[in-house]
Amino acid sequence: MISDVMPTYASIDLAFERGEGPYLFTKDGRRFLDFGSGIAVNSLGHCHPALIQTLSDQSEKLWHCSNLYRIPMQENLAGKLTANSFADLVFFCNSGAEAVEAGLKLVRKYQSYSGRPERFRVITFGGSFHGRTLATISAAANDAHKAGFGPMVNGFDIVPFGNSEKVRAAVTKETAAILVEPIQGEGGIRPAEREFLAYLRELCDEFDLLLFFDEVQTGIGRTGYLFSHQGADVNPDVVAIAKGLGGGFPVGACLASAKAAAGMTAGTHGSTFGGNPLAMSVACKVLDIIQEEGLLKNCVERGVELRTRITQCYQNYPNLVEEVRGAGLMVGIKAIVPAGELVTAFRNHGLLTVPAGDNVVRLLPPLIIDQNHVDEALEMISDAFKALT
């Protein structure tokens, strides 16, 4: 492959021409069942007719206009997000890393605005992933992502995921916030215990820190709740979302309580593209469809089916898989053989999945899948297991 694209991705030699629902098609007509959804992005599958209509209608009216002016569709989307969450205020951007970055700035601003400018550090966790900007690689523990890019942004204290005592011990006079993924995605579909998240909430209340959830992957229905922390019944102060929000259109958002966002006044933060009418109209439609079409319920039911049936299936191949875990349609297959071999075998049988840390294969199907798609996936998984033994 000769290409002028900077080779930062280890892409495999496979390209798609079009998508329809949970399927992707190559130019030569091969069909794949897409249980990766562009890494949890195509939440309503590919080319959802209502999203096509919304995008095309909006494209004839207004694509971009600066935040120098009011953008009414931002107000619509912000209203939908706050009406269905802990949040009072929303900042719009274009990606997950930008949403996390906005939250990191917000938590520092909260503390300085509250008269404690010495509080700038954020406690984060081993195995986490928060994006690829300088601040977000600094926040996470992945050395490969940091190599050669130093010095890192100062102000992150990384502790073992799930270890309450280590978190408490890491709180100092300089701590501003705790940043955590309720279920680690890139780290290998590693769910935080409900008790752990509740403990973080108590700790934040005790020391007046902000609790910041990175729901870029878990948010917007993926786990069967609009936000996965709603399933744990633990309220954060700040949440970053992106991936599934635009159903394939790039858009991110940072949600916060009014108290946490008090310092985010005019001129403190911004984005040229953030909250543009195309992104806003599509994201509004995505939220409407998720809520009106019972997709959260579908996500829970298909998720249980998928996890149960994969678990049954691998019992016949005990040397391949160790466990199946996750929530809703965020499913992790913890492999015994190298996870990459499973991903390849699945793909050879027509099923697209995504590798993750901890030797895990991720299944992140669109929330619109039905029982037939689960049947089809299980046939492919079973055939792939057979071929591997």
By CB under 6 A, name the binding residues for ligand PLP. Answer: 95-97, 100, 129-131, 181, 185-186, 214, 216-217, 242-243
DSSP helix/strand/coil, 91: strand
CB of 321 to ligand PLP, least distance (A): 23
ω into residue 365 within 30 of 0, thus cis?
no
Q: What residues form DSSP beta bridges with 362?
A: 332, 354
CB of 119 to ligand PLP, least distance (A): 23
When the beta carbons of 54 and 228 are compared against ligand PLP, the nearer one is 228
Cα separation, 357 vs 350, whole angstroms: 23
The residue type of 18 is: R
Q: What is the per-residue burial (b if ≥16 Cβ within 10 Å, else e) of 127-157?
A: bbbbbebbbbbbbbbbeebeeeeeeeeebbb
How many Cα atoms sit within 13 Å of 34 on the Cβ side?
27
When the beta carbons of 179 and 384 are compared against ligand PLP, the nearer one is 179
DSSP helix/strand/coil, 312: helix
Nearest to 283 by CA among 54, 20, 39, 87: 54
The pairing of beta strand 175-180 with beta strand 210-214: parallel
CB of 299 to ligand PLP, least distance (A): 17
When the beta carbons of 23 and 129 are compared against ligand PLP, the nearer one is 129
When the beta carbons of 243 and 334 are compared against ligand PLP, the nearer one is 243
Q: Is the separation of the CB atoms in 91 and 264 below 8 Å?
A: yes
When the beta carbons of 272 and 315 are compared against ligand PLP, the nearer one is 272
Q: Is the separation of the CB atoms in 76 and 277 below 8 Å?
A: no
Nearest to 355 by CA among 200, 219, 179, 185: 185
CB of 201 to ligand PLP, least distance (A): 19
When the beta carbons of 249 and 314 are compared against ligand PLP, the nearer one is 249
Q: How many CB atoms lie within 10 A of CB 373?
A: 21
CB of 162 to ligand PLP, least distance (A): 16
CB of 345 to ligand PLP, least distance (A): 24
When the beta carbons of 185 and 320 are compared against ligand PLP, the nearer one is 185
CA angle 43, 82, 285 (to 5 degrees): 35
- For tokens 């900042």, the residue is 91
CB of 100 to ligand PLP, least distance (A): 6
Q: Which residue number is nearest to ligand PLP in terms of Cβ?
A: 96
